[in-house]
Structure 1
Amino acid sequence: MSTRTTASTVTVDPTQTWSIEGHSDLNRQQYFSIAQSAGDGLDELSQEQFDYYFRELGITFGRRVNLLLAGHTYEEIVFEDPDRPGRVDIDRLKNEPPRTPGKFDDQLREMFPDGLDLVGTENFLKTTWPPFMETYVREEDTTGHHPMVKDHDAAAEGMIAYLNHRFNDWDRPRWFEGLNEPDWFFNVYNDESFFGLHEGFKNYRDEAGLNMEVGGPCFPTSQYFKNNYQTLPKTMGHFIDQTECDLDFYSFHPYDYTIWDEEAQTFDARVTGGLPMDADLDALVNYTVLEHGKEIDVVISEHGAYMVDTAVRYDQIDALGVRLFPELSDWDRWMKQKEITDFMMVNGAIAHTLTFMDHPHTVEKAIPFILLEASSWKPDHYAALLVSKDHQSPAEEWVESRMVDFWKVFKDVDGRRVRGWSIDPDIQQQSFVDGDRLFIVLNNLAGVPQDVTLDIANADEVQSYELRRLSRNEDFTPNYSEQSVESVDALTLAPQESVVVVATYAEPIVEAQRFEESVHYGDRSCVELTGQDSATFKVAVPDVEDAETVTLRIAVGRPHGTDRDLAVKFNGHAVTIPVEDSADRLDRKHKYADEYGALKRVRIPAEWLEAENAVEVSFPDGTGGGIGSVVLRVSRASE
Structure 2
Amino acid sequence: MKNQQLFFAIYFITLVGFSQNNTVQIDFTTQKFIGSESELNREKYFAMHSSYNNGDLADDPDYLFNDLGIKFGRTFGGPGPYSKYKKGDMSVQNAKKLALENAERYKNSPLYATQKTTDLIITDHPRDAYKLGMDFEKTATFNVAYIKKAYPVMPKYYEVMNEPFVHAKDFVDSYDKTPKVISEMSEFHKIVADKVHAEIPNIMVGGYSAAWPEYDKNNFAIWNTRMKVFMDIAGESMQFFATHIYDGRNVEGDFNYRSGSNSEAILDLIESYSYQKWGVVKPHLISEYGYTAKGLQGQPYSPILNGVCLTSYNNILMSLLDKPDRLLKAVPFITGKATWFYKDSRNPEGHPYPWVLLRKEKNGTYKYTHLRKFWQLWKDVQGNRVYATSNNPDIQVHVFANKNKGYVALNNLADDAQKINLDFLNSSKQLIKNATIKRSYNNKNGIPKLVLFTNAKDTKEITLKAGETVVIDYDLTNYEFLNTVKENNYYAKNCLQEIKANNPIIFSVDNVTSSNKGNATLKMGLGRTHNLSKKPIVKINGTIVTVPTNWAGYDQTGREQFFGVIPIPVALDNIKNGTNTVELTFPDTGGYVSSIIMNTENFKN
Report the TM-score, using the length of structure 1 for normalisation. 0.81
In the alignment, the residues of structure 2 paired with residue 579 and residue 466 of structure 1 have an alpha-carbon distance, to the nearest angstrom, of 35
SS at match of 1:550: strand
Cα offset, 1:189, TM superposition = 7.3
The answer to whether the aligner puts 1:615 opposite 2:587 as a matched pair is no
1:408 maps to: 376
Alignment of 1:232-381 (within 5 A): 232-257=223-248, 269-306=255-292, 308-310=293-295, 313=296, 334-335=300-301, 338-378=302-342, 380-381=352-353
In the alignment, the residues of structure 2 paired with residue 539 and residue 28 of structure 1 have an alpha-carbon distance, to the nearest angstrom, of 33
Q: Percent identity?
A: 23
SS at match of 1:503: strand
In the alignment, the residues of structure 1 paired with residue 156 and residue 518 of structure 2 have an alpha-carbon distance, to the nearest angstrom, of 37
In the alignment, the residues of structure 2 paired with residue 619 and residue 191 of structure 1 have an alpha-carbon distance, to the nearest angstrom, of 35
2:593 maps to: 627
The answer to whether the aligner puts 1:575 opposite 2:526 as a matched pair is no
1:132 maps to: none
Cα offset, 1:87, TM superposition = 5.8
Alignment of 1:161-240 (within 5 A): 161-168=145-152, 170=153, 172-186=154-168, 187=178, 191-227=182-218, 231-240=222-231
In the alignment, the residues of structure 2 paired with residue 586 and residue 178 of structure 1 have an alpha-carbon distance, to the nearest angstrom, of 36
1:143 maps to: none
Letter of the 1:223 partner, please give it: E
The structure-2 alpha-carbon separation of the partners of 1:543 and 1:375, relative to structure 1 and needing over 3 Å to count, comes to closer
SS at match of 2:305: helix
SS at match of 2:441: strand
Alignment of 1:151-162 (within 5 A): 151-162=135-146
The answer to whether the aligner puts 1:557 opposite 2:564 as a matched pair is no
Query: Which digits, 9 at most, give the CA deviation of each residue in 1:77-127, with x for residues without a partner?
Result: x5776xxx7665345446657234222322225xxxxx34011111233xx
Q: Is the 8 A contact 2:405 2:474 kept in 1?
A: yes
Query: Which digits, 9 at most, give the CA deviation of each residue in 1:410-454, with x for residues without a partner?
Result: 111111111111110111111111121111111111111112111
The structure-2 alpha-carbon separation of the partners of 1:384 and 1:203, relative to structure 1 and needing over 3 Å to count, comes to same
The answer to whether the aligner puts 1:98 opposite 2:85 as a matched pair is no
The answer to whether the aligner puts 1:594 opposite 2:560 as a matched pair is yes
**Aligned residues, how many?**
562
1:520 maps to: 490
Higher mean alpha-carbon deviation, 23-32 vs 203-212, is at 203-212
Query: Which digits, 9 at most, give the CA deviation of each residue in 1:223-250, with x for residues without a partner?
Result: 3344555643442122111115221111
Letter of the 1:120 partner, please give it: I
Query: Which digits, 9 at most, give the CA deviation of each residue in 1:357-390, with x for residues without a partner?
Result: 1112221111010101112334521111100113
Q: Is the 8 A contact 1:228 1:528 kept in 2?
A: no
Letter of the 1:588 partner, please give it: T
In the alignment, the residues of structure 1 paired with residue 381 and residue 38 of structure 2 have an alpha-carbon distance, to the nearest angstrom, of 14
In the alignment, the residues of structure 1 paired with residue 311 and residue 21 of structure 2 have an alpha-carbon distance, to the nearest angstrom, of 22
2:3 maps to: none
In the alignment, the residues of structure 2 paired with residue 189 and residue 446 of structure 1 have an alpha-carbon distance, to the nearest angstrom, of 42
1:460 maps to: 430
Cα offset, 1:547, TM superposition = 5.2
In the alignment, the residues of structure 2 paired with residue 540 and residue 389 of structure 1 have an alpha-carbon distance, to the nearest angstrom, of 59
Match of 1:471 among 441, 447, 471: 441
In the alignment, the residues of structure 2 paired with residue 188 and residue 373 of structure 1 have an alpha-carbon distance, to the nearest angstrom, of 37
Match of 2:360 among 388, 395, 402: 388
Letter of the 1:98 partner, please give it: E
Query: Which digits, 9 at most, give the CA deviation of each residue in 1:458-494, with x for residues without a partner?
Result: 1122111111111222222222211112433111111
Q: Is the 8 A contact 2:73 2:331 kept in 1?
A: yes
1:603 maps to: 569
2:53 maps to: 39
SS at match of 1:222: coil
SS at match of 1:525: coil
1:325 maps to: none
In the alignment, the residues of structure 2 paired with residue 189 and residue 520 of structure 1 have an alpha-carbon distance, to the nearest angstrom, of 35
Match of 2:78 among 67, 84, 87: 67
Letter of the 1:12 partner, please give it: I
In the alignment, the residues of structure 2 paired with residue 287 and residue 581 of structure 1 have an alpha-carbon distance, to the nearest angstrom, of 22
Letter of the 1:53 partner, please give it: L
SS at match of 1:8: strand
The structure-2 alpha-carbon separation of the partners of 1:94 and 1:64, relative to structure 1 and needing over 3 Å to count, comes to closer
In the alignment, the residues of structure 2 paired with residue 599 and residue 35 of structure 1 have an alpha-carbon distance, to the nearest angstrom, of 28
Letter of the 2:55 partner, please give it: G
The structure-2 alpha-carbon separation of the partners of 1:149 and 1:39, relative to structure 1 and needing over 3 Å to count, comes to farther
Match of 1:17 among 31, 48, 56: 31
Letter of the 2:405 partner, please give it: R
2:393 maps to: 425
Letter of the 1:163 partner, please give it: I
In the alignment, the residues of structure 2 paired with residue 402 and residue 618 of structure 1 have an alpha-carbon distance, to the nearest angstrom, of 48
In the alignment, the residues of structure 2 paired with residue 116 and residue 244 of structure 1 have an alpha-carbon distance, to the nearest angstrom, of 24
Cα offset, 1:65, TM superposition = 0.6
Cα offset, 1:188, TM superposition = 6.1
In the alignment, the residues of structure 2 paired with residue 192 and residue 225 of structure 1 have an alpha-carbon distance, to the nearest angstrom, of 20
The structure-2 alpha-carbon separation of the partners of 1:340 and 1:273, relative to structure 1 and needing over 3 Å to count, comes to same
In the alignment, the residues of structure 2 paired with residue 556 and residue 536 of structure 1 have an alpha-carbon distance, to the nearest angstrom, of 15
The structure-2 alpha-carbon separation of the partners of 1:581 and 1:30, relative to structure 1 and needing over 3 Å to count, comes to closer
In the alignment, the residues of structure 2 paired with residue 20 and residue 30 of structure 1 have an alpha-carbon distance, to the nearest angstrom, of 15
Cα offset, 1:545, TM superposition = 4.4
Query: Which digits, 9 at most, give the CA deviation of each residue in 1:239-264, with x for residues without a partner?
Result: 111115221111121111169xxxxx
Q: Which runs of 5+ in 2 are unaligned?
A: 1-17, 169-177, 343-350
In the alignment, the residues of structure 1 paired with residue 88 and residue 294 of structure 2 have an alpha-carbon distance, to the nearest angstrom, of 41
Letter of the 1:371 partner, please give it: T
Query: Which digits, 9 at most, give the CA deviation of each residue in 1:311-347, with x for residues without a partner?
Result: xx569xx7xxxxxxxxxxxxxxx44xx2111122221
Query: Which digits, 9 at most, give the CA deviation of each residue in 1:288-325, with x for residues without a partner?
Result: 2112322111111101112x233xx569xx7xxxxxxx
Q: Which runs of 5+ in 1 are unaligned?
A: 110-114, 130-134, 136-146, 260-267, 319-333
The structure-2 alpha-carbon separation of the partners of 1:25 and 1:225, relative to structure 1 and needing over 3 Å to count, comes to farther
SS at match of 2:291: strand
Task: Kindly report the root-mean-square deviation, in angstroms, between the aligned alpha carbons of the 2 structures.
Answer: 2.8
Letter of the 2:328 partner, please give it: E
Q: Is the 8 A contact 1:534 1:618 kept in 2?
A: yes
Query: Which digits, 9 at most, give the CA deviation of each residue in 1:22-41, with x for residues without a partner?
Result: 11111101011110101123
Q: Is the 8 A contact 2:407 2:471 kept in 1?
A: yes
Q: Is the 8 A contact 1:466 1:503 kept in 2?
A: yes
Q: Is the 8 A contact 1:570 1:614 kept in 2?
A: yes
Q: Is the 8 A contact 1:232 1:284 kept in 2?
A: no
In the alignment, the residues of structure 2 paired with residue 6 and residue 231 of structure 1 have an alpha-carbon distance, to the nearest angstrom, of 40
Report the TM-score, using the length of structure 2 for normalisation. 0.86
